[in-house]
Structure formats: structure tokens, C-alpha cells
Amino acid sequence: MKNRLAAASLFLAFLFSSCSKQLNIYPHSAASSSNLSSGDMELLLTGVYSVVQNAPGPQSYIMNDMVGGNLISARGTGGALVLINGILRPEQSLISSAWDGYYKALYQVNELLKATGTGNTTGRVKEIEGIAHFFRAYLYYDLVTKWGDVPLLKENTSDKLSRTPQAEVWAFIESELNAAIADAPDFSSYYYVSKDAAKALMARVELAQGKNSDAVKWAEEVINSESFHLDSYDKIFRAQQNQEEIFAFLNTTVESSVNISTLFYTYAQANKGSYVYAPASDVMSMYDDADLRKDISISVVGTDPIINKYPSGQAGTDPIIVSRLGEMYLISAEAQGSSGLNRLNDLRRFRGLPDVTPADDAGYQDAVMLERRKELLAEGFRWFDLVRWGKAKSVLGLSDMQLKFPIPEDELVLNNLLKQNPGY
Amino acid sequence: MRYGHFIFGSCLCLFLQLFISGVNAQDGSRQIVKGYVINDSGYALHGASVRLIPNDAGKSYLTSTDSAGMFTFTNVVAGRTYDFEATYVGYKTGKVQGLKILGGKTNTVMIRLYPTVRALNDVVVIAYGTQKKGDVSSAMSIYKPNEYDSRPVLAPDQMMQGKMAGVLMDAGSGTPGAANRVNIRGIGSLSASNDPLYVIDGIPIKLTNGALGDFGEDMSSISELNPSDIESITVLKDAASASIYGSRATNGVVLIKTKSGQKNKSRLDFNAFSGVANVPYLNRLKIDNSASYVQVVNEAIDSYNLQYGYAPGRGNFVDYIRNPYPGLPDFDWTNAVLNKNARTNSANLSLSGGSTKNTYFISMGYLDQDGTIKTNNLKKYTGKINLTQEIFPWLNFGANTNFSFSRNNRVPGANLGSTPLARSLEQRPFDRPYKPNGEYYIGGTSELLRNNAVQILNEEKAYLEDYRMLGNFHLDISILKGLVLKNSLGTDVDYTHDYVYYNQDHPYGLGTGRLTDQTRINSNLLFENTLNYDKQIDKLNLSLLAGHSYQKFVTKTNLTDGNGFPSPSFDVNSVASVILAASSGISENSIESYFSRANLSYDDKYLLSVSFRTDGSSRFAPDHRWGYFPSVSGGWEMSKEPFWPMRSTSLKWRASYGLTGNQEGIGNYAYQALTGGGYNYNAGSGLAVTNPGSPNLTWESARQADIGFDLGLFDNHITFTADYFSKKTTNLLYDLPTMATSGFTSVTSNIGSMSNKGYEFTLGSNYDFGRVHWTSNFNISFIKNRLLSLIGNDPILVGGNKVLQVGKQVGSFYVYKQLGIYQRDDQVPASLYNTGVRAGDVIYKDVNKDGIIDVNDRQIVGTANPTYFGGWNNSITYRGFDLNFSFTYSYGNDIYASWRINVTRLGGTFFPNLNNEVNSRWTGPGTSNTVPRAIYGSTYNTQNSSRYLEDGSYIRFRNLSLGYSLPDKLIQRMKLKRLRVYVQADNLCLLTRYSGIDPEVNDNLDPKFMGDDNLVMPQPRIIMAGLNLTF
């Protein structure tokens, strides 16, 4: 009897011993957000590069080619318009994943700016802020060119927001880029944001708004910089050190979920690909044989035409170029009007082509437009270029509503302050 | 004790005895008659009453059996005839009639008793203990599998199908080891974990996907258990029975008790079966032949060119296609990937018994089962040891352990791009796997439309290995009479290796081979103490329980993903030239609980049960951590009242009310605002804010009321159980979609409430028609689900074809409604005409009447939930024969046949076409009002719409078995206790209007996504033969 009472009381002691402290369990791969300090800023900055690179998803980088007539569905059903009509729909997941991705990335940038705002404003903190301002401008450029008026967040909020008029968004982008040009670090590697990256983006922003003289100014500033020279496609698109790139995401395989190459390569190629998008037939015929860009830009595998700028297939990922000098030449050439012919021919000569001598302004503009299409194929320019030039309807057969992207349906359902773009 | 050699020994003794006393062996002499009373499965029945009745109306005698089930009559007269009649509580009276006693011969009698359908004194397994079945006042269903009615299944959840009212078991996929959907009393939660809580030998088991990587379908994590080891399955359906498992009981609780030995009764069982399986009803997937395919696609191209005015050289003119292999026969792709002769072999051996102070049950099981896709095979080895030992009269020790190893050679499931069945179906009829030179045609290019399934099966090696140890060790201390302290330690350790190797020739092999190698160790530790007190005070039976438990779950994972292998024979990542990814993870959560219960019964008439539990979960912030789950239930045995007029009728009323909770389906750290690592760039480590935090997150809880009765008519020849329940779940846990501008697209939240109401009926009968004995059980459940509220009451879109909408069912299909087919161009609204819609295209309902068809025109057109479902199980015995058959059925559920989209494009793209769609397509006014025209380059007709929504009602002839047990005399000679041979057929026949092979299609077990058919592997038809042998 004694024994069993002793044994029982021993276990009863267990019974009433609380384990409630054992209920405090914390993750091994994350830390509480309230513990962030200014010392974590470099880590957050690296995180911003990672999120901005990854969040919008692979198709976002070539979306303007997909809806701009450069690409069609692979294995040939339907022309460019069939693909475009399939994508420009409010319920299309490619639309929402791009929208969601830009805002997810913006959230991290804003968190970084919140963190730097609490630290000491030493030289490096200023630089980090400059980089953050660049990324905000970069994200809003994508948002405003695709959707027009978009919610503008200068700091994070979970409140419902209505769409800010695009003029205000453009002004914000410019002010962000001015901050970036002032504070971002000097150019050292094109895999990091620099003052020159901000200038190159500024040139693009000014051109988009029709501020041609400013566009020329920024483009020429970059062209005349010691850091950059036109370089061969072999280097640019085969991830070799080159002098052409101004800013690109490194997009290494282990750090990235953005695999563009698998969308273009086929299973018949050595490193495979799921072959989702193929170049349209007019893309296949637009390069002269002498054009040094041709074989790197397009190819034919078996009987299947492919885009060849992203060479890793299914096996890996390739760097994603944001700005390179070729674009600066074309911006300068376009914004100067026919007096920019030298810049156009500079580029053509470097790419192995003879000079052109357009008869008139319209001919010059056509020449610039064609060159731009050839130079920047599958780099995410075409649709907005056509929209900018007022050619989207005549060239592609788009309807009026298709000059803007639809606001994703999921977002409209969740935020009744948003109004859909007309027509959708 | 079981009977084989013992009888042999006894008979020998008896024979010797008779031989020695042979002189007296003549009529009129006094003889000894020995006999045995056993039950249907061969166990001796101790304490059975046996009556000896002389046929010439002399005096009858009464005796009872000893612990070995043996009885003896000494005053029997040779030459006269006697009846022997044995009775035992819970069993029907058994008789041996007209036995003539022989002098000088062996006079032995064996009486086999069969249980009554509803044995009120049965003890049932309940939470933290057992209870007399008659004392149960809550709603629970019990299934005790036996050799007669068991199907050849892998997992215990499959055994339950159709057996119990209110329990919906819907098969996920026909591949061995795939996960199944189990719903108890409707959709309990919105989060993915709609599974009930499984408690195996007292250990609550966390259900996880048995696979680590995405290989196209979820795998079951309880298929490692050996169904043959299961003694009983109790499903706790209402709050009163389940809420003592409070924290995780919202979706019901399934208690599984494994077998144990009996004191002084040794027994050896050997069961084996062998069978073949194949996929039935393949003719439902008839693809149009290549001649017709070419014709239809060219018709589509014609329409396109004509419609847009394209001509050769003008516009986007599209040229005709032609068969690239004219003269060659079409290739049968499905035939090339299906295994028409899938073998299954299984063997089980169990030993059980015990002495006066201990019991043991030891079993070994082996299963080798082919899937119905080539290369798919599962091998499973299980072992079990259950022991109890009395150390002192006041101290008992017990251990229940299950060990298992399984290896599943997998094939891609329905949600993976390389899934063999769907990809085979979608090849153009003239496509073939091999070029004339023996190389593969490469899928996804112009030479072959879809992934080459033959290549995929040949060039990949994918397996899932699982090692599991599930065990419970307990020490019971009797402190005072009736007061027992039970301390138990439960462990469930599960090691999984998920290996997917695509060699260099596989489309996903990256040209040099790719290996994704993942391992996971799940450990689940339970530390539990309970105090039980049982007391009888006059007519009052009192059973009290108090307890405390702490349970911790830890998951550790490792992954390496490499490519670059010298040749396919190198298949580990240490030789990979590139490591694409490498990671490891640790994730934990824990629950602490205090619980108590009082069960009272007075005079066996008035029943009351009250329980209370509180749980703290590490998944919620300290302020919202604890949930409280009380319950009460009462019962009244009305037919035991003195005023009850009908002696042969019994009636019991039951009612219960209580609260249960749920915390599954959300992240371990969902409430915490977190900054996560791994956001690296250029080999520098980076951080990002990964979770904004939900500090107010708390328990999802359900209030459930239940009222029911158990009716027995004609001395329980007919039994009827009815229940009505109403369950309201509040604080539903869900990853609430949020505006992307907030930086996140979803936040785990308590989002709303939902109700499930329903009726459940079970009708049992058992009849004797002479020597034919028939028992049957029919059950039917009507359950209605409704979403009561959502944050902001705005609908939440789910996937491409579902919605969560207040007032509607969870699982509602939300797509365009097809009204018909435009017969003339002038019927087409201008807005659609401008986008290329013409006569022959689908008319979608313009819900908001704005003249255009867009996302605002979607509406709820159906539901994945059945109106009613159930099963009908029958058992007929005649002498040694037993015939068992069962049906399962479901009515009123819809299926979204998304697999059909790719094979009904009718030239929209180059996909092939289902034969019946081609034959009924629109070709001119009046030709069809359901199937559209063939038109190239258009996806208008294949948008998500009611065109692909089908009635998923079915009746399945689930199982048929015919067995023969050798006569007792014969098996005695063979020194056996029992030998039964049987043949069995599973899934013999299916009545359904669904156009796919199988209407059980839940490839996604999330209730929000259920009812979508991506062509999951259908349930196989299995024909097999087996034997049950008992020594």
C-alpha cells in the first residue's frame, strides 16, 4: 500500500507539473520582426534585391513581348492576338501574379526605408536609401506603364487605397530617381544598383512621358560615362563580363525562382525547356543574316522557332537585364528625332549592319522602331513601345481597352475603392 | 484458448478412455459427452450456458463452459438422441439437434455461436477508455472489421467506406498509398485539414502528406498501418463524445484500437490473398481516330480562315494539317502506360495469447501491390507487438507498438505535368512514342504534342520510403479499489525518404539528369497522465476521469536538388556536378491539455456524461492560446421503464451538446510577425518580412447539438438508429486573401462561420431463413453545409472555379452557365461577335445583362457536396458458406471534369478529341445545343463553365466475397481451428452518369477544391482469392 501510494504520488507530481512554458515555440528560419535593428539594414537590402527580382515572376519580365506581338503560344495555335486576348483578362493569373509581385516587392522596399529612417544617417545608410528609392521608381515604372493609375504607397499600409492619377505616379518616380541619382553608390558592378542605373532608368522614364530633351540628356550622360561601352551579344546574353550592362539582376539558380529560359527552350534541346512561348513569324524574319544579334536572339530547333536570349533551358536561370547601353543609344536616337541618326547608326554598325539613311521623319521613326524591336526583343519593351507610339491598335489590332492592363479581379474584389480600367 | 491441437489431444484422451472402458460400450450405458462452445471466429466462450435436452422428453440438464470453453455431461445414455443448446450474452442461441449418443464412440459436440447484431453488453472503445455500449449516450459509430467483410485495402480510412452513417470516405486516387478524403458530418473546416483526428492506441496522430515533394498527388500518412491489426474503429461524431479531444475534434475523431492477446488463449492466425487489378471502363475515354481527328481540325481551320477572310498569303492564313504517318495504325497510348495485370499479394501472420498475468499479440504483415500504371508498385512490411504484464496486483504495464516499412515506386499524380494517364489521353491519335530509329519522340515539340508518357515511365526513378514506429507505453497503478492512475508515453516517429530521379533521357532531366532527394523525420511525442475512478453505489454507476497531457510535434527536413550525372547509373547527389538547391528545416508545435469527464448511469436507464477540456496551442499568441471545450450528453433507456409495454422492442433516447476546436491547417508560427531568412542575393544572406503577424488569431471552434434514438424491434432482429445534428463552426481559420497593396496576398485569419446540419439513419437487420442467416446494415446520411458569415461578407474566390459565399455551400462551383449553342449568327450579341463568336459557339448566361460575357457573369451552378450518401452491407451465411456484398453510393454531388477541357477543344488547338464530342458537335443550325462547333484558334468555348460540370452521383458495387469455411469435423482432423477460403471482387460495377472513369475524384483534399477531376487514377477493379487459417 505504501509502495503504491509513493509511486502514485510521484506520477501525480508529474500530472500537475505544468508544461505551459513549452508552448512558447519560435521558428528556426525567421526572427521576430520587432527585433530588427539598424544593424540588420544590409541584410534587409540584400533581401530587397532578392524579393524585387523574384516576386513578380518570370512572365512579368517578358510580359510586354507576350502582349506586344513578339511572342505567340508555342507549338502554334493562334497568332499573337490569340495570346494577347488570353492574357489581358482580369482573372488571368499572370496579370495578378505580376501585380501582386510588384506590390509585395514594394512592401519590402518600404520596410527597408522605414528601417533606415530609424538609424544613423551615415554615408552607407544614405547609399542604401538611394538604392531603395531606385527600386521604388523601378517598380512604379512597371506599374504605371501597364495599369495607368495605380495605388501609390510611400509607406506600407493595409488600408484600402484608391488609384492615384498617373501624372502623380510619374512625378513620384522622377523624384525617387532624383534621390537615387543623388544617393546611390557609384557604379562598380552591374549586378548592383548605382547612380548610373538610376540615370538609365530616368532616361526611360522621361522618354515614356515624352520629355524628349531630358531623355536625351540622361541617355547621353550614361553613354558618355567611362563605365560603359557597347558590347557583343555573346557576352551580354551568355552571362560573360561585359561593358554594356548598366543594371541587371544576377538571378542565380539557387537564389531565384525566375526561370525565363524554360519558357522559350524545348525538350529537344540539351538542357530542355517546357517551350511555352515562341517568337512570332515576323520576328523570325526580321533579322538580316549579317545581323550579329540574330543567332543569339532567335533560333530554330527541329522545326520549332525559339527565342535564344536566355540559354539555361530548364537547368538553371539567367541574369535579367534591367538597363543596358543599347537601350540608351535607342532612347537618344528616338528622343532626338532625325538628328539622332548618328546614334542609330552607331548601334547598327556595332551590330554588324550598314547605316540607314531614312528619307523623312516618318521613315526615321520607322527605322528607330524596327531597330528597337530587334535590339530589345524578349527584354520586356514591345507592348509599351507600341502603346507609346500610338501604334498598338494598327500594328497588333488591339482594342482600346487593351492599351491598359486590367486590374486583377482578385484585387478588385478585395478593394472596392479600385475601379477597373474601362472596357474590362 | 483456441482449439486445434487441444481438441486433438482431448479426443485422443477420450478415445483411450473409451477404448479402455470399451466393454461398457453398448446402448443404455452411461456415456460422457464433452463439448466446446466457440464463437464465429473460433474463440472459446467462457461461461456459456449449455442445456442438454433429451429428445424423448426426459429431464434436461444445464451446465456451463469453463475458461477453455469446454463443458461435460456425464449422465448421457447411449442410444438415445439429445439436443444441445448453448446461450451466451451477446450471441444468438446455438443448437446441435438430434445427436444420437453412441456407445464406445467418441461423443464430442462443438457449438458455434454467432453474435447478435446489436450486442448491448459489448464494450466499446471511447476516448481515454472503454464503456459498455448500452451506457453510451453520445453519437458514435463503430466498425469491427472481420475477415468476411474486409476489403483488401491499404489504410484504415478505406476500411470505413460505406460502413458508418455520417462518415464520408471518398477515395482520392487509385494509386496505391494515395491520400483519401474523410469527412465526418460534413465539411468541418475551411483550412486544408478537414481530416478527422486519428487516435491510434491512444496516440493522437497528425495527418500529413505522406510525400515531401510535389509528385502530383498527396499520399496517405496512415497507410503504413496494417489493417489486419485493427480490432475496432470507433468514430466519435458528436461533440459529447469527441470534445474530450477538444483541441482537434472539430472534424470528428477516429479511434483505432489494435488487437491484443487474451489471457490463457493461444492462437495463431495466417491470412493471405493474391489478386489482380486493372482499370475498368476504359471505353469511356474513347479518343477519336486520326482520320476523323484530321477532318475535325481541318474543319476548324476552315471555319477560322473563312470567318476572318484569310486566304493563302493573306492575313494569318492557317494551312491544313495532315497525318504525318499515313498508313500507320493509331497508337493506343493509354494501353501503353496501363498495367492490365497489376498483381497484389499479401500475407499476414499473427500470434496471440497470454498466461494469467500477461497477454501478447504479435503480428507480421507483408503486402506487395502493383498500381494500375506500369512501374507503380507498393511494398509494405509491418510488425506489431502488443504486450500487457501484471507486475504486482496493483501495477500493470503495457506496450503497443507498430513498426512499418514501405517502399512506394511512384508514378506522377494527376497534378504533375508528366502524369501518365492524362498525358497519354491528350496525344494526337497518330502520335507515337518511338521514332523508327528507336529514339523517343520528344513531347512538347511539333513532333509530339504532349509529354511522352512512355519515356517518362521508363526514364524516371521515383520512390517514397517510409519507416515508422508508433508506440504507446503505459504503467497503470491501482491506488485504491476503483481508482487507477495511468501514465503513458506515446511516440510516433516517422522517417520518410522522397526520391525523384529523372535521368538524362527524361524530359525533366535537364539533359544531364536531375535528382531531388528529400528526407523528413516527424516525431510526435505524447506524455499523458490520467486518473480513473469507477464506483458502483447501489444502482448508480460512476466513472470519473481526470487527466493532463503534453504533446510535441517536430518536423525536420532536408533537401538536395542536383543535376549533372555522368550516366543514369549514378543516382546520388554526391556526384551531381551542380547543386541546384539545398536546404534544411526544423518546424515545431506543441499542445498542452487538461481534461476531465464524468460518466454516470443509474439503474442502466438514465445516462449522463459531462466532460471538460482545455488546450493551449503554441500556434496562438499567449493571450489567445487557451481554448475551452465543455460537453454534456444524456440518455434514457425508455424501454427499461416498468411502463414500457412491448417486451420485444427496445428504445433508447440520446441527446448531446458541446464544443470542439481546431487549430490544424495553419502555419506553426502564424500569429508571429516574422522576418525570414533565405532572401539571398549574389551569395549574400538577406532578410525579408515574411509574416505581418496575426496576434489575435485564435481557436476555430464548433458547437454541436445532437439528438437521436436507438430502436430495436422483434428482439433486435431489426435495429434502427437515427440522429439529427446541428453543428456551427465559428472563427473559421483560413488564409484570407488580402489586397496585394498590403504587401501580402493572404493572412491567416479567423474569417467567419459555417453550419452543417444533417440526419443520419442506420437500419440493421438479421434474420434466419432456416439455415440461411442474413445480416444487413444500410446507412444513409443527409448533410447540408452553409457558410454563415465571412469577414466583410464579400465572396472569396477560390481557385479557378470555386467561391466561398455567405449563404452558400463550401464547395460551390462558380463558373459561367452554359445555356446552349448559338444556332445563327444573328443571335450573337455584337460585343461577342466582334471578338469572333459565331453560330455554333457556346451561349454563356449574361448574368448582369450588360451584353458582354466577363468574370461578373459567373454564378454558382453546382456543388461538390452530396445531398446524401451511404452504404449497404450484407452478409449471408449458409452452413460453411458466407457471402458478403456491399454497395456505396452518393447522390447529388457535381464534378468539375477539368480533364475534359483538353480533349474537347474540337480543333481550337491541336489536342485530340473525345469521340462522343466529335459525333455530337454543332455543324449547322439545329445540329446540337450542347457541343459547340469546331473552330481553330479560339478558347471561347473551353472557358470554365457548366459545360464541364457533371452529375457525380453513383452507386458502386463496392465489394463481393464468397467464402467457405471447412466443416468443423474436417478441420479438427487437420488440427486446425478454422480454415476459410474465399474469392473476392472489389469495384465490380459502377452506375453513374459521370462521363469519366470514376466519380470519386478528390485529388485535392482541401474541401474548397474538392470535386475537381484532373483525371486522377481511377479506383482499380480487383479480383482476388485468399485464405484465413487459424491454429
Give which of B175, B154, B158, B176 is closest to B167, Cα–Cα: B158
Residue B2: predicted pLDDT: 39
Beta-strand ranges (E) seen in B880-1020 are 881-891, 894-896, 949-951, 954-965, 978-992
Do residues B68 and B117 touch, judged by C-beta distance below 8 A?
A: no
Spell out which residues of chain B touch residue A47, defining contact as CB-CB under 8 Å.
679, 681, 686-688
Q: How far apart are CA B489 and CA B258, in angstroms?
A: 17
Give which of B630, B677, B696, B623 is closest to B657, Cα–Cα: B630
Selected residue with higher pLDDT from B505 and A10: B505
Which whole-number Å values give the CA distances from A232 to A198, A283, A378, B484, in the listed order?
23, 20, 17, 84
Q: A29 vs B741: CB contact, 8 Å cut-off?
A: no
Selected residue with higher pLDDT from A400 and B127: A400
Please compute Rg for chain B using Cα positions.
32
Q: B592 vs A19: CB contact, 8 Å cut-off?
A: yes
Average pLDDT, chain B: 86
Q: How far apart are CA A296 and CA A319, in angstroms?
A: 15
Give which of B684, A310, A113 is closest to A105, Cα–Cα: A113
Residues 6+ apart with CB under 8 A from A151: A161, A162, A163, A164, A418, B741
Give which of A169, A189, A147, A179 is closest to A49, Cα–Cα: A189
Residue B122: predicted pLDDT: 66
Q: How far is CA B147 from the centre of its chain?
A: 18
The answer to whether the Cα torsion of A302, A305, A308, A314 is positive or negative is negative
Residue B171: predicted pLDDT: 73
Residue tagged 466462450 (cell numbers): B45
Q: A49 vs B581: CB contact, 8 Å cut-off?
A: no
Confidence of residue A53 (pLDDT cuts 50, 70, 90): very high
Do residues B232 and B360 touch, judged by C-beta distance below 8 A?
A: no
**Cell numbers given for B278:** 486493372
Other residues' Cβ atoms within 10 Å of the Cβ of residue B1010: 25
Q: How far apart are CA B464 and CA B212, in angstroms?
A: 9
Ranges of H-type helices in B485-535: none
Which whole-number Å values give the CA distances from A248 to A46, A177, A257, A382, in the listed order?
14, 17, 16, 19
Residue B255 has pLDDT above 60, yes or no: yes
Q: B444 vs A153: CB contact, 8 Å cut-off?
A: no
Give which of B790, B978, B812 is closest to B882, Cα–Cα: B978
Q: A46 vs B686: CB contact, 8 Å cut-off?
A: yes
Q: How far apart are CA B297 and CA B864, in angstroms?
A: 34
Q: How far is B939 from chain A (nearest CA, A)?
A: 8
DSSP state of A270: T
Select, from the ranges B183-187, B808-812, B832-836, the one with the highest average predicted confidence (pLDDT): B808-812
Q: A20 vs B443: CB contact, 8 Å cut-off?
A: no
Q: How far apart are CA A130 and CA B499, in angstroms?
A: 46
Q: How far apart are CA A376 and CA A126, in angstroms?
A: 33
Packing angle between helix A361-375 and helix A341-350, nearest 10 degrees? 40
Spell out which residues of chain A touch residue B449, defining contact as CB-CB under 8 Å.
75
Residue tagged 443509474 (cell numbers): B602
Do residues B929 and B842 touch, judged by C-beta distance below 8 A?
A: no
Spell out which residues of chain A touch residue B939, defining contact as CB-CB under 8 Å.
82, 86
Amino acid identity at B577? S
Beta-ladder partners of B256: B200, B233
Q: A275 vs B797: CB contact, 8 Å cut-off?
A: no
Percent helix, strand and coil across chain B, each to the nearest 5: 15, 50, 40
Confidence of residue B68 (pLDDT cuts 50, 70, 90): confident
Terminal C-alpha separation, chain B: 10
Confidence of residue B25 (pLDDT cuts 50, 70, 90): very low
pTM: 0.82
Do residues B795 and A412 touch, judged by C-beta distance below 8 A?
A: no
Q: How far is CA A49 from the centre of its chain?
A: 12
What is the ipTM metric for this complex?
0.89
Q: B685 vs A46: CB contact, 8 Å cut-off?
A: yes
Range B441-468 average pLDDT:
91
DSSP state of B102: P
Give which of A148, A196, A187 is closest to A421, Cα–Cα: A148
Q: How far apart are CA B219 and CA A374, in angstroms?
A: 49
Q: Summarize pLDDT for B918-937 with one digit per residue, the tens.
A: 999 999 999 999 999 999 88
Range B553-573 average pLDDT:
91
Residue B112: predicted pLDDT: 81
Q: A111 vs B690: CB contact, 8 Å cut-off?
A: no
Q: Summarize pLDDT for B379-408 with one digit per residue, the tens.
A: 999 999 999 999 988 899 999 999 999 999
Residue A119 has pLDDT above 60, yes or no: no
Q: How far is A214 from chain B (nearest CA, A)?
A: 31
Q: How far apart are CA B578 and CA B686, in angstroms?
A: 23
Task: Please work out, in degrees rounded to the nearest 5, the angle formed at the alpha carbon of residue A275 by the alpha carbons of A271 and A277.
Answer: 135
Q: How far apart are CA B365 and CA B103, in angstroms?
A: 47
Q: B687 vs A47: CB contact, 8 Å cut-off?
A: yes
Q: Summarize pLDDT for B327-367 with one digit per residue, the tens.
A: 889 999 988 999 989 999 999 999 998 888 899 999 999 99
Residue B3: predicted pLDDT: 39
Q: How far apart are CA B708 and CA B721, in angstroms?
A: 7
Spell out which residues of chain A touch residue B321, defining contact as CB-CB under 8 Å.
none
Residue tagged 447411449 (cell numbers): B78
- Judged by DSSP in three states, B46 sits in coil
Do residues B873 and B149 touch, judged by C-beta distance below 8 A?
A: yes
Do residues B952 and B155 touch, judged by C-beta distance below 8 A?
A: no
Residue tagged 501597364 (cell numbers): A146
Best mutation target among B741, B803, B835, B910 (most A Cβ atoms within 10 Å) is B741
Average pLDDT, chain A: 90
Q: Which residue of A has its CA nearest to B668?
A: A27
Confidence of residue B26 (pLDDT cuts 50, 70, 90): low
Spell B886-915 as b/e; 16+ CB within 10 A means b: bbbbbbebbbbbbbbbbbbbbbbbbbbbbb
Spell B687-724 as b/e; 16+ CB within 10 A means b: bbbbbbbbeebbbbbbbbbbbbbbbbeeebbbbbbebe
Give which of A258, A273, A295, A279 is closest to A74, Cα–Cα: A279
Selected residue with higher pLDDT from B538 and A22: B538
Residue tagged 446455438 (cell numbers): B94
**What's the burial of B946, exposed, middle or buried (CB within 10 Å: 0-12/13-18/19+)?**
buried
Q: How far apart are CA B805 and CA B789, in angstroms?
A: 8
Residue B510 has pLDDT above 90, yes or no: no
Q: Which residue of B has its CA nearest to A319?
A: B682
Residue tagged 496486483 (cell numbers): B393
Best mutation target among B455, B476, B689 (most A Cβ atoms within 10 Å) is B689
Out of B166-180, B264-278, B427-441, which region has the weakest mean confidence (pLDDT)?
B166-180
Spell out which residues of chain A touch residue B687, defining contact as CB-CB under 8 Å.
36, 40, 43-44, 46-47
Of A8, A27, A53, the CB nearest to B477: A8
Out of A8-22, A239-253, B770-784, which region has the weakest mean confidence (pLDDT)?
A8-22
Residue B853 has pLDDT above 90, yes or no: no
Spell out which residues of chain B touch residue A76, defining contact as CB-CB under 8 Å.
446, 910
Torsion-angle region of B800 (φ positive above 0: left; ψ -120 to 50: alpha; else: beta): alpha
The string of DSSP codes covering B765-795 is EEEEETTEEEEEEEEEEEEEEEEEEEGGG--
Do residues A187 and A247 touch, judged by C-beta distance below 8 A?
A: no
Q: How far apart are CA B1004 and CA B1009, in angstroms?
A: 6
- Judged by DSSP in three states, B10 sits in helix
Residues 6+ apart with CB under 8 A from A394: none
**Cell numbers given for B33:** 459427452
Give which of A314, A135, A173 is closest to B681, Cα–Cα: A135
Packing angle between helix A195-208 and helix A123-147, nearest 10 degrees? 20
Q: Summarize pLDDT for B972-1014 with one digit per residue, the tens.
A: 788 888 889 999 998 889 999 999 888 988 766 677 778 888 8
Q: How far apart are CA B139 and CA B121, in angstroms?
A: 17
Q: How far is CA A375 from the centre of its chain?
A: 17
Of B446, B681, B794, the CB nearest to A50: B681
Looking from the CA of B1027 toward its CB, the CA atoms found within 13 Å total 7
Range A156-167 average pLDDT:
93
Q: How far apart are CA B244 and CA B199, in angstroms?
A: 12
Give which of B388, B434, B344 is closest to B151, Cα–Cα: B344
Of A7, A22, A79, the CB nearest to B552: A22
Q: How far is A141 from chain B (nearest CA, A)?
A: 16
